[in-house]
A and B are shown apart, each in its own frame.
Chain A
Amino acid sequence: DVQLVESGGGSVQSGGSLKVSCAVSGFSFSNYSINWVRQAPGKGLEWISYISATSTTIHYADSVKGRFIISRDNAKNTLFLQMNSLRVDDTAVYYCSTFDYWGQGTLVSVSS
């Protein structure tokens, strides 16, 4: 079975940093591009970052560019999102997704 399991969410103050992870199993992670998508409480889906299979191509939404860094470790089947200079409006559930498959999400809460 395909599984994507996010971890590392939590509460942080505005201006702080947090690193979330996504552990993948059940498919050849190193052959697939993957994304981070977030959902603020009661809001819709917002794509925030993409990384290609070999990390050669990376994209960010304007809302996180310069503050967030996506990376992956294909040997460990894990995706990462380093979040710096966090703001209150970064509060959301963060999902990793190939779009075929989605994790359950991890909640990041940023307080002022």
Chain B
Amino acid sequence: EIEMTQTPLSLSVTPGQPASISCKCSQRLLRSIGEASLYWFLQKPGQPPQLLIFGVSNRFSGVPDRFSGSGSGTEFTLNISRVEAEDVGVYYCMQNMQLITFGQGTRLDIK
């Protein structure tokens, strides 16, 4: 089983400031087409998760461009260029190269 380790587990950010979440995988992620199978989700309080990023760096429809994903191999990052109040919630990375596993989640709140 591929293990996904997120850091930090929580962060508190002033509105307008950047934020970064790391996701490290226990195995190298790679799809046969060359696109790593790494996703990012945000679960806002009281809501189901929503897709932010697929294929490492592709924003899903309607996701603001302040969200960006990067990385390769075993290390991936979600960046928020300027945090807004609506970004509060728990962020999860996920791999689907070998079955499916989620990271443990990173809770973001506003200072």
Contact = CB atoms under 8 A, between A and B. Distances in A.
Contacts of B99: 47, 50, 59, 61
B104 interface: yes
A99 B102 contact: no
Interface in A49-68: 50, 59, 61-62
B50 to A, nearest CB: 7
Interface residues of A, number: 19
B48 interface: yes
B49 interface: yes
Contacts of A100: 51, 54, 60
Interface in B75-111: 90, 92, 94, 96, 99-105
Nearest to B50: A102
B48 A44 contact: no
A44 B4 CA distance: 12
Contacts of B105: 44-45
